[in-house]
Structure 1
């Protein structure tokens, strides 16, 4: 039994042992994805292939440097990891790893740091030009440089917080409504089931949208250092 509403985000809440299950739910995908490449192509396999190809075309448009061949594979894999973790977290009694900063920040920070190191080492003048907007007044240049620097530094944090907050908000609402079901009458309980079903559909859409937004923004950040 949960002690409070936020206990649903504790990986040890539903565990019968004292072991932490933070990363166990993220490893479930390793049991799902490999058979898709070895078995006879199914409708699910064709759907997933078409989805990845569509995402690949979207990322290819955003990446300005055509010499970075294969870079869309990184962002397509990032999209797949976040999407699968978000969907797995919608099942009952499964820990949602994408609702924790330790997971989202581990995805955004290394990629952003690698882009920054690549940009400052190989295209230093281009990176300096990004700190000063074109046509800005000379008197405002020191303040604009500070603002652009701060906005650039907080990018991995904003990416991680955006994904975490969206996952937590929906799960909290589902948990809050689900806990109130025991005290409702039958006619109100039927309404609650319909509302919960609609919220679950909405959360499924949010899971896909947040994975897409996270990977798209990371792709845009990578194109700025070219």
Structure 2
């Protein structure tokens, strides 16, 4: 057992069964959507409607239901981030395999749609308005590179933020047995604060991922 064993999908039985933790979301969905409405149900509906209104403004699209995939993406990442805070549950979003699998198909579909239907609009995005003629070739190179690395930045941002907090909590937790009682109380207080911080990070990172995906999609319309 080493420090990074908790982030290894093949820790148990040499099989990547830990990825099945993403399916635990299904346990929480049925009572929320298919049984008697509860306070949790009403809270989630308020969150979804708020996100729908915001994404609709950002997308600037008349297509009905265009925000559905982005709200679903937010929900999926949020549940996975939260489940990773529970003991002995694998955090799928702390791995590039999952985050890149979410970001790359979205970005690729946006690019294919944009370059196929709005080629002139996509070419205009490569040169910002008011750029001097001498700098235009450099701006095209810079904008092209920044466009290509977008799925990588989305994936790395999410996985790095999720793994950093977990790693810090693991490092502090491993020092507990060698501490005195009063220092252990301070450590426990710090761990609680870190857990609250990780809860906020779980919400913020899922929101950032969904909003940036929305902004990228609005550029190709």
TM-score with structure 1 length normalisation? 0.95
Query: Could you say which residue in structure 2 is the equivalent of 1:157?
Result: 152
**Aligned equivalents of 2:119, 2:93: Cα separation in 1:** 34
Query: Could you say which residue in structure 1 is the equivalent of 2:5?
Result: 7
Using the TM superposition, give the Cα deviation of residue 23 of structure 1 relative to its aligned residue in structure 2, in angstroms.
1.9
Corresponding pairs, count: 221
Using the TM superposition, give the Cα deviation of residue 91 of structure 1 relative to its aligned residue in structure 2, in angstroms.
0.4
Residue among 60, 73, 76 paired with 2:71: 76
5+ residue gaps, structure 2, are none
SS at match of 1:57: helix
Query: Could you say which residue in structure 2 is the equivalent of 1:138?
Result: 133
5+ residue gaps, structure 1, are none
Task: State how 1:51-200 maps to structure 2 within 5 Å.
Answer: 51-65=47-61, 67-200=62-195
Work out whether 1:38 is the aligned partner of 2:30.
no
Query: Could you say which residue in structure 2 is the equivalent of 1:21?
Result: 17
**Aligned equivalents of 1:8, 1:23: Cα separation in 2:** 12
**Aligned equivalents of 1:18, 1:137: Cα separation in 2:** 58
**Aligned equivalents of 2:30, 2:136: Cα separation in 1:** 52
Runs of 4+ in 1 over 4 A off after TM superposition: none
**Aligned equivalents of 1:114, 1:11: Cα separation in 2:** 28
Using the TM superposition, give the Cα deviation of residue 18 of structure 1 relative to its aligned residue in structure 2, in angstroms.
2.9
**Aligned equivalents of 2:63, 2:134: Cα separation in 1:** 38
**Aligned equivalents of 1:33, 1:184: Cα separation in 2:** 42
SS at match of 2:17: coil
**Aligned equivalents of 2:70, 2:150: Cα separation in 1:** 17
Using the TM superposition, give the Cα deviation of residue 85 of structure 1 relative to its aligned residue in structure 2, in angstroms.
0.2
Using the TM superposition, give the Cα deviation of residue 21 of structure 1 relative to its aligned residue in structure 2, in angstroms.
2.0
**Aligned equivalents of 1:116, 1:68: Cα separation in 2:** 18
**Aligned equivalents of 1:102, 1:22: Cα separation in 2:** 13
SS at match of 1:135: coil
SS at match of 2:67: helix
**Aligned equivalents of 1:213, 1:186: Cα separation in 2:** 40
**Aligned equivalents of 2:93, 2:105: Cα separation in 1:** 16
